[in-house]
Amino acid sequence: MAVYGIDLGTTYSCIARIDDVGRPTVLRNIEGADTTPSVVYFESADSVVVGQSAKDATVLDPDHVVQLIKRDMGDVVPREFHGRTYTPEEISARILRKLVDDAKATAGEEARDVVISVPAYFGLAERDATRKAGEIAGLRVLDVVAEPIAAALDYGALEGDEERGDRAVLVYDLGGGTFDTTVLTLRGRELTVLCTDGAKELGGSDFDDRIVAHLVERFRERFPDADDPLSDPQSETQLRKDAEEAKKALSFRERYTVRVMHQGRVEAVELTRGLIEELTRDLLDRTVDITRRTVELAAERGVPSFDDVLLVGGATKMPAVAAALRTQFGFEPRLHNPDLAVARGAAFYALDRAAYMVSSGELSDEQAPDVPETGLTHRPYEISTVASRGYGIRVTDIDTGREYVTHLVHANDGLPASVTDDFFTLRDGQRQVRIQVMEQAGAVESEELAHNTAVAQGTLKIPPGKPARWPFQCVFTLDASGLLTVVATERESGEQIEISIQIGGLSQEAVDEARVAMSRQRIG
């Protein structure tokens, strides 16, 4: 059995496996490219197109094309096409199917057992939705792995991590739709994440937006009486495609000309690398600010400097990224397989996971992965990571009645984590308390209810006749993989409840139905 690593990206996806001699290999799609646009075109009720052709279809039929679906993972936002509704899991499943089918066509092998990467900041619901997307695509998802961990595994394996001493690594990942930065240490085969931070809505496509705005401005200067090209979906998508092409080209060239066409008029706009850098400087500055936050937290945690700074994500090919990190921090960043590292590292991790699952009996011997003869992967990695979100309880201020969230576990706390705190009843004679477990929703922890998501609840009994402010205890335990359990105890009676998290994603039946429905559809 071969195992595969999949980078299911916001804008581009990639699949890799470990070859016979232990090296990760990216499997090309049938168009011959290493990465596949994460774009899905619902051409008709029984035909779906994924990848570059879907991206091209955006120009002609934008209403049937879905982009950036990863941003909706974990949320309930169905979309309707040709009389059928599709959840984000089902749409992502079609991207996965394309990757796997193409891998079969080009490498001759059916991929079934996979590890899918997820952003470090994904919470429980998003991770669960990612697994379910895999199941809908008919895959066995051995695990999900955080993208910076995967990137570091690829890097560590390349560097021959066994021979080298401890290394502190900063991963700076600027993709199409997201930015994140992570500090981790590699020590032999021990990998420890110290801290991670990022912005969910900051990536290469924001750079494209700036270029589009500039092109439109120049077009309108030239043709003041013409309509706004952005008011026409076709012109807009063409402009977005051209802007992205220009941006990519300008990573290697100094100048590039885009022909802006709208209502039969054409304006050739010359772009230079310097101009793009000027138009997008504030975006880059935001990544620098977030990186600074991460670097400072790492220093507090005993890692004041880095042996390597890895640039991951396609947008780090812009020379301005490395330049900013050099001037702002004195780093010597390295472009490390920016588009492919995550899939390659996920493949390493998949091999490890499968070997472990065979040894623990979760997979049978027949399901054992083919271990390369001269593998780098004979000893599993030990990975320790941090909480991706804060978790807490919804409480009421006894004096003002204000409701807010008190967090017991915070983002970037080392895992496993266990935190105990006391809470109190509100009223005399109160016989029960409703315990509502909340997950931090935004990038930064906040007490506001609206900045948190309810993930579970339970009711604890209180003995009769107790005054207000009667205490009870809550213990939050987050295991090494980020799964949360909460135990609440009333100490006098010994009454105890355990609350485990309901993620609330698709049920198993819904997943099975979606898988059957998808198998009837042509995906290409």
Q: Which residues bind ligand ADP (CB under 6 A)?
A: 9-12, 35, 38, 175-178, 203-205, 244, 247-248, 251, 313-315, 317-318, 339
Structure tokens, 469: 């402010």
**Residue 11's binding partner out of Mg ion, ligand ADP, none, with CB under 5 to 8 Å set by partner kind:** ligand ADP
Report in angstroms how near the CB of residue 314 gets to ligand ADP at its nearest. 2
Site residues for Mg ion, 76-95, by CB under 5 A, read none
Report in angstroms how near the CB of residue 58 gets to ligand ADP at its nearest. 14
**Residue 198's binding partner out of Mg ion, ligand ADP, none, with CB under 5 to 8 Å set by partner kind:** none
What does residue 356 show for φ and ψ, rounded to 5 degrees? -65, -40
Cβ–Cβ contacts within 10 Å for residue 227, how many? 12
CA-CA distance, 211 to 250, in Å (whole number)?
12
What is the pattern of x (binds Mg ion, CB under 5 A) and - over residues 119-158?
----------------------------------------
Listed in sequence order, the residues at least 6 apart from 127 whose beta carbon sits closer than 8 Å to its beta carbon are: 74, 118, 144, 482
Distances (CA, A) of 365 to 176, 301, 317, 346, 370: 40, 42, 43, 22, 11
Dihedral (Cα; 68, 72, 76, 79), 10-degree rounding:
-10
**Residue 345's binding partner out of Mg ion, ligand ADP, none, with CB under 5 to 8 Å set by partner kind:** none
Closest CB to Mg ion among 169 and 503?
A: 169
Report in angstroms how near the CB of residue 497 gets to Mg ion at its nearest. 40
Report in angstroms how near the CB of residue 40 gets to ligand ADP at its nearest. 14
List, as one string, the DSSP characters of 233-271: HHHHHHHHHHHHHHHHHTTT-SEEEEEEEETTEEEEEEE
**Residue 390's binding partner out of ligand ADP, Mg ion, none, with CB under 5 to 8 Å set by partner kind:** none
CA-CA distance, 70 to 193, in Å (whole number)?
23
Report in angstroms how near the CB of residue 315 gets to ligand ADP at its nearest. 4
175 belongs to the binding site for Mg ion (CB under 5 A): yes
Kindly tell me which residue out of 2, 3, 9, 207 binds Mg ion, with binding defined by CB under 5 A: 9
For residue 370, give the DSSP letter: P
Q: At what angle do helices 281-300 and 204-222 cross, to 10 degrees?
A: 160
Closest CB to ligand ADP among 64 and 273?
A: 273
Residues 201, 341: contact at Cβ < 8 Å? no
Closest CB to ligand ADP among 35 and 453?
A: 35
Burial of 230-266, coded b for 16+ CB within 10 Å and e otherwise, reads: eeeeebbbbbbbbbbebbbbbbeeeebebebbbeeee
Closest CB to ligand ADP among 177 and 482?
A: 177
**Residue 205's binding partner out of Mg ion, ligand ADP, none, with CB under 5 to 8 Å set by partner kind:** ligand ADP
Report in angstroms how near the CB of residue 11 gets to ligand ADP at its nearest. 4
Closest CB to ligand ADP among 205 and 452?
A: 205
Strand 391-396 and strand 403-409: the pairing is antiparallel
- The 3-state DSSP class for residue 15 equals strand
CA-CA distance, 185 to 181, in Å (whole number)?
14
Closest CB to ligand ADP among 70 and 220?
A: 70
Closest CB to ligand ADP among 232 and 245?
A: 245
**Residue 325's binding partner out of ligand ADP, Mg ion, none, with CB under 5 to 8 Å set by partner kind:** none
Report in angstroms how near the CB of residue 303 gets to ligand ADP at its nearest. 25
Closest CB to ligand ADP among 139 and 243?
A: 243
Residues 89, 506: contact at Cβ < 8 Å? yes
Report in angstroms how near the CB of residue 222 gets to ligand ADP at its nearest. 26
Strand 84-86 and strand 79-81: the pairing is antiparallel
Structure tokens, 120: 């470090």
Report in angstroms how near the CB of residue 157 gets to ligand ADP at its nearest. 20
Stretch binding Mg ion (CB under 5 A), from 152-160, 170-178, 254-262, 475-483: 170-178
Closest CB to ligand ADP among 34 and 445?
A: 34
Q: Which single residue brings its beta carbon nearest to Mg ion? A: 175
Report in angstroms how near the CB of residue 11 gets to Mg ion at its nearest. 8
For residue 462, give the DSSP letter: -
**Residue 51's binding partner out of Mg ion, ligand ADP, none, with CB under 5 to 8 Å set by partner kind:** none
* Residues near Mg ion (CB under 5 A): 9, 175
